[in-house]
Structure 1
């Protein structure tokens, strides 16, 4: 989208012209698909990274706070495919059930399918190990049915919620470190250095990461969690906060959250089923602000100075929105870009925000001005990303794993 349209948008916001838009149209004045400077060619013959990217992406949304933001730079505006892997997503009865988001640590890419967990080399995508099991399933955040619950990584171990319990594997070789079969997994785990929090069929439970001992179970239902400042945020039919040390409920609200709860600087970001984006105090749940004058702001990605979200107004074109964070107030729009009928903000780095666009694939925008830098065409409905220092790894629901980077 041309920068003049972004400036026009900011001017409209300043005069109050955008906030009053009614009906099902997007409040973004952009009326065309972004025109990236570079298109990544789907070359599947690449031999891997010459220099393996630094950093890690150990949880589906980077860390236990689910910001979706990695404090790294993208290094190149003209990436290429470094490697490509196809992971089977067929179940035992021949049905296709999809792949989970990827997590990355210790030079290893890990994801789950309906029948197991797979580890790939970050350098070249070669399979490192595979283990058969049945992960818990969770509703997709982009409305494409259920998907396998993704793994999480901490202290060189992979932790999984399965239908038979909770399992920890060694990242290096897939050896089982421990299993806890007291209860079945029922959602996406969240992990810190010394504690693992898992939605289970009994409620949300805390486990020791070293040996799998269950330490408490909170009577709160939810499939996705966030952990920050000794508090666990649970997103289910309600948004619930429990004490990380004891499991005691601290506060709860009937926000009907969707997707992952996000925590940053003492604020809990909640995207709900009504399309509101709400900021609540992590301490006591008090509503600090609410953006409800647009149509369905979803999938927030939060950086130290910005909030990125998709506006989905129904049957008309959606839009990527960039907001400036405001101390003690609601975020203020900075730029926007149309994304046709569907999409999701998938992740952000210091200089780049990545958006999946239903007709165009994965698009990288500059964070400050929203210029479309490059695009990776893909026919699939969504791409989950792991952002590293010097590259990214993405996976499509069909199990196509692609690493991008280099010049």
Structure 2
């Protein structure tokens, strides 16, 4: 007997939520909305992310043949795909590698490596391709994208913001690069309301006009995120949540958090091989290793290891497991469904039509 998921995979067509003619079937969780196998060649891309209705992929460096000059060049490549069906939106190739990459609100950006480090080209992309290019003084260590802007942390310890093809403002960061106590390189995150960067052992927050809002020298971060006006700083010791207005600590995870996802009501963390849910104040709600709970299947959950990126919204919690792509219920962490994959290259990513993963089979969008 053929399962309904294998049946739909064999069809290789889009499932829109309308019953298939004559069979009375409606798609359920984990079923395939669409699959685009031509995207499978993107296994070499170092950075992938979804923003809006676009999947952006970036290869920082790779050899390609320039037909105009009839020469081989080593440069970056940015390829974007429509998340509604997986077909390519655009490809942009460069004759220089990318030293820093940002995938964020409204698009992507790359900082190209120049032999002369006195300045760095920064290119901003939207869903239809390149939007603008400008030059930032000095080398660029980290980038963030938000609200049609690009924020760059420079090698000489400054934060520069660019928009519409020009640099709008620049502020010096204190302490400067090189005094880093945490063992991580600089990182930056931005939203329409603020920009935060970690450099030299401090998390520093600025208003969009460059006014310094606060500085926290006791918080380390290898990754920063801004959600609903709160700052999430992920470091080797765990996850710290800070008030966006003041920088005051809301809560600190006592466990080593590998990845996390934030929704309106909860924070879902992968801790070791477990998924643990907290409310937004830091109170623990459930874990996949819990022994009891409404609707939980302990035998199935105890045999599952959760390995990589977590994604979540009101439709569920989605995470790569040792079996493939697994969906959990938001209220109690009970197992909802698993689709087998041998090797997930990127994702899961949440899109309008479902849950997107990139694997050896290409890009596949599953019903949530």
What TM-score comes out, normalization by structure 2 length?
0.70
What is the deviation of 1:117? Answer: 0.1
Matches for 1:242-391 after TM superposition, within 5 Å:
242-244=205-207, 245-246=209-210, 248=212, 250-258=214-222, 260-274=223-237, 276-292=238-254, 295-312=255-272, 318-326=273-281, 330-337=282-289, 343-357=307-321, 359-380=322-343, 383-391=346-354
Which of 213, 218, 224 is 2:167 aligned to?
213
Distance 1:87 1:122 in 2: 17
Partner of 1:199: 153
Distance 1:131 1:227 in 2: 24
Instruction: Choose between structure 1 and 2 for higher RCO, CA contacts under 8 A separated by at least 6 residues.
Output: 1
Partner of 2:31: 79
What is the deviation of 1:167? Answer: 0.4
Distance 1:199 1:170 in 2: 21
What is the deviation of 1:224? Answer: 3.4
Equivalent pairs counted in the alignment come to 310
Which of 94, 111, 118 is 1:161 aligned to?
111
Distance 2:78 2:10 in 1: 23
Richer in strand (by share): 2
State whether structure 2 residue 49 is matched by structure 1 residue 102: yes
Instruction: Give the 3-state SS of the residue equivalent to 1:256 in structure 2.
Output: coil
What is the deviation of 1:118? Answer: 0.4
Deviations 1:161-206 (A, max 9, x none): 333421024532x35533325344433423124x321333344534
Partner of 2:194: 231
Does the CA-based 8 Å contact 1:240-1:249 persist in structure 2? no
What is the deviation of 1:212? Answer: 3.0
Distance 1:187 1:124 in 2: 31
Distance 1:361 1:286 in 2: 38
> What are the ranges of 5 or more consecutive residues in structure 2 without an aligned counterpart?
18-26, 61-75, 114-119, 178-184, 290-301
State whether structure 2 residue 86 is matched by structure 1 residue 125: yes
Does the CA-based 8 Å contact 1:325-1:332 persist in structure 2? no
Matches for 1:41-56 after TM superposition, within 5 Å:
43=9, 46-48=12-14
What is the deviation of 1:227? Answer: 2.9
Change (3 A) 1:160 1:401: farther
Instruction: Give the 3-state SS of the residue equivalent to 1:283 in structure 2.
Output: coil
What TM-score comes out, normalization by structure 1 length?
0.64
What is the deviation of 1:402? Answer: 1.5
Change (3 A) 1:347 1:170: closer
Change (3 A) 1:49 1:166: farther
Does the CA-based 8 Å contact 1:165-1:183 persist in structure 2? no
Partner of 2:203: 240
What is the deviation of 1:382? Answer: 5.7
State whether structure 2 residue 356 is matched by structure 1 residue 393: yes
RMSD: 3.5
Distance 1:192 1:161 in 2: 18
